[in-house]
Chain A
Amino acid sequence: MTDAGRAGLHIAVAAALAVAAVLVLPGALELFALINATVWAAMALLALSLAFAWGAGGILCFGQTAFFGLGGYAYAVAGINFGDGALAVLPALTVATLAAAALGWVMFYGRVGDVYMGVITLTVTLILFKFANSTAGEQWRIGAAALGGFNGIPQTPPLNWPGDPANPLTPEQVFVVAVLCLFGCYAAVKLVLLTRFGRVAVAIKENELRAELLGYDVRAHRLGVFTIGGAMAGLAGVVFANCVFVSPSMFSLAYAGQVVIWVLVGGVGTYVGPMAACVALQALASWAGTVPGFDPNLLLGGVLLAAVLAVPRGLLPTAQDLLGRLRPSRRRPAEPKIAPAE
């Protein structure tokens, strides 16, 4: 099967799943469970955004939550000022995209090494966390929107039909929007990987020096991948703001850590893996949260440690390997090796 054919198949399967989710879940789930499912869809989108930056671009971004939170905050601020949630989506995506582009420019054009990149991105999200936490009080407002410090912005406006601010979306409709965003971004990722740009990005990830010597602009391609990832994280923030509300915890170390865990456990270089790991681990964490006296961080940390030590390539590639070994008759293309970065 050609690459395009395989991507088409994946997108078709994803479309079928998305349609099934949209048709079945709103009727089958209770309201609370449905809102939870929307949150998980937003988180899966966040996981997908990092899976793209890390898997396609080889960019170790530990602070994907920076763009997630910025998207959410920009959405809330713009929504309150415009009084119209639909109009706020574009500014939110713009802010997240520009932030990713600016940070990416500093890192890639400064030729910062990949480990430093992880630390810098993590630091950026932690600083945003502190900054957002300190914005309590009247002097911290943008237009009509008070940033609210530790409490965030509880009056984050819901999405509405474009041009009809008096008619906000119901939780069922927000769920549909979330699933459509997730599917759309998945399809976009698959399609981008088929383009020349996507192929060059993967080539750079596989061997940066070789790609550069062949004349490709490593910095520009990395910047492009990182910016797309940032925009997707911003979209995830918008969806998240619609089912919860924006608060500094969107920037927090716990969230930043979880995203990395999802991608690593699911498998760097795959896209379904991180999304599936995201949903599975969220379910696990919310179950662990109900056990009295147990701290979910312990579980998450344990999972991350175990994943790095036992299945460093992630569950999906490992499972594919095992399947391939069980069926030796079918010739499989060699898995792209995820080389440990220097």
Chain B
Amino acid sequence: MDLALAVGLQVLTGVAVLVIVSLGLAVVFGMMRVINLAHGEFMMLGAFAAVLATGAGLSLWVAMLLVAPVAVGLFGLVVERLVIRRLYGRMVDTMLATWGLSLALVGGMTMLAGNSVSGVSAPLGSVAVGGFRTSGYELFLIGAAVALSLGVWVALRFTRWGLVARGTMQDAETASALGVAPDRVYAVTFAAGAALSGLAGALLAPLSGVVPTMGAAYIARAFITVITGGAAILAGTLSASGLLGTVSTLGTFLSTPVLGEVAMLVVAVVLLRLLPRGITGRVLRRAL
């Protein structure tokens, strides 16, 4: 019984990590049809922002939850202005340009920060679950994933900004005829996605350690989740994270972490063979 509970918690953590890692990418892809291959590096920047801010004496929570998303969000605004804006509607070129950005960020950060691992230690100590002990920070991550999903849902569904953004993505011309500036909506949406990526990087920094190349560790998982999920931002991310996170955690539990990831990839590939438009291409099509 205790074992089942512990494994269940591990699965939930795995799913939560996937949700956190993919949400920023899903917002940018789902809303703007922009595939941001520099997503992993945005996470890396967020993690570095958190490390620098804690080094400057801020509390870890302020650094993670406030400094990282704001810093990376601003950076995303600049990137949108300089690069992404020139490439709207050219999906493949956007992908290539953001890949270039990703390589350049890894290279630049390696020059600035060196190739050594810095990090922050996980707060919150450990918590007893039956006969096992689990890290309190993992429980916090589960809560954070739920809060982030709720936040995105509320922002898109119930705020004026969410309404305007969704309308603009559906039909930019009509939106602009109604007095909305599509340019500005695109910029803000991209920045919001970047902020989510930065937040994700900071949240995962205590688990993974912070190096300039850390983005590569997440990008494959994030992409496979978003693509398996399909077009609907929240429903897609949540369903794909739920499925793939479970597969990968159980695979890890039964064998090794690498085989867990391989199992996750195989499931994703088989799923895409059956549902080329992702899970929400077939079910929950009208979900957010």
Contact check, B87 vs A308: say whether CB atoms are below 8 A apart: yes
B223 at the A interface (CB under 8 A): yes
- Write out the residue numbers on chain B whose beta carbons fall within 8 Å of the beta carbon of A301: 99-107
Please state if A298 and B111 are interface contacts (CB–CB under 8 Å).
yes
Grouping DSSP codes into helix (H, G, I), strand (E, B) and loop, the A interface class, with mixed when no group exceeds half, is: helix
A309 interface residue, CB < 8 Å from B?
yes
* Given A120-B272, A297-B110, A114 and B92 contact (CB-CB distance below 8 Å): yes
- Return the chain A residue nearest B40 by Cβ: A253
Find residues 211-269 in chain B having any chain A CB closer than 8 Å to their own CB: 216, 219-220, 223-224, 227, 256-258, 261-262, 265, 268-269
Given the known inter-chain contacts A295-B107, A297-B104, A301-B102, please indicate yes or no for A122 contacting B220, CB distance below 8 A. Answer: yes
Does chain B have a CB within 8 A of A312?
yes
Interface size on B, residues (CB 8 A): 42
Q: How far is the CA of A294 from the CA of B268 in the complex (A)?
A: 38
Could you mark each residue 54-98 of chain A with 1 if its beta carbon is under 8 Å from any beta carbon of chain B, else 0?
Answer: 000000101000000000000000000000000000000000000
Instruction: Give CA–CA (A123, B107) in the complex, Å.
Output: 21
- Answer whether residue B130 sits at the interface, using C-beta atoms and an 8 A cutoff: no
Asked whether any CB of chain A lies closer than 8 Å to the CB of B95, the reply is yes
A293 at the interface (CB under 8 A from B): yes
- State in angstroms the CA–CA spacing of A302 and B111 once bound together: 14
- The answer, yes or no, to whether A16 is at the interface (CB within 8 Å) is no
Query: Does B108 lie at the interface of the complex (its beta carbon under 8 Å from any beta carbon of A)?
Result: yes
Interface mask (B176-220 → A, CB under 8 Å = 1, otherwise 0): 000000000000000000000000000000000000000010011
For chain A, the count of residues having a C-beta within 8 Å of the partner chain is: 50
Q: Taking each of A130, A133, A254, A299, which has the highest tally of chain B beta carbons within 10 Å of its own beta carbon?
A: A130
Q: Is residue B97 within 8 Å, beta carbon to beta carbon, of the partner chain? A: yes
Contact status B92-A118, CB under 8 Å: yes
Say whether, besides A294-B111, A300-B107, A341-B92, A309 and B97 are in contact (CB < 8 Å): yes
Taking CB atoms, residues of chain A closer than 8 Å to B258 are 130-131, 133-134
Partner of B103, one of A124, A133, A304: A304
Contact of B220 among A113, A126, A257, A307 (CB under 8 A): A126
In whole angstroms, how far apart are the Cα atoms of A312 and B103 in the complex? 18
- Choose one: B91, B99, B106, B268; the contact of A115 (CB below 8 Å): B91
Chain B residues within an 8 Å CB radius of A342: 91
How many angstroms between the C-alpha atoms of A304 and B97 in the bound complex? 7
How far apart are the CA atoms of A156 and B256 in the complex, in Å? 27
11 A-B residue pairings within 8 Å (CB atoms): A134-B256, A257-B99, A260-B96, A260-B99, A295-B106, A298-B103, A298-B104, A304-B103, A307-B100, A340-B89, A340-B90
Q: State the B residues within 8 Å of A (CB).
A: 35, 83, 86-87, 89-93, 95-97, 99-108, 110-111, 216, 219-220, 223-224, 227, 256-258, 261-262, 265, 268-269, 272-274, 276
Q: A119-B227, A300-B107 are in contact. List 14 more A-B contacts (CB 8 A).
A: A60-B92, A119-B35, A120-B269, A123-B223, A126-B219, A130-B261, A134-B257, A257-B99, A294-B111, A295-B107, A295-B110, A301-B100, A301-B107, A304-B97
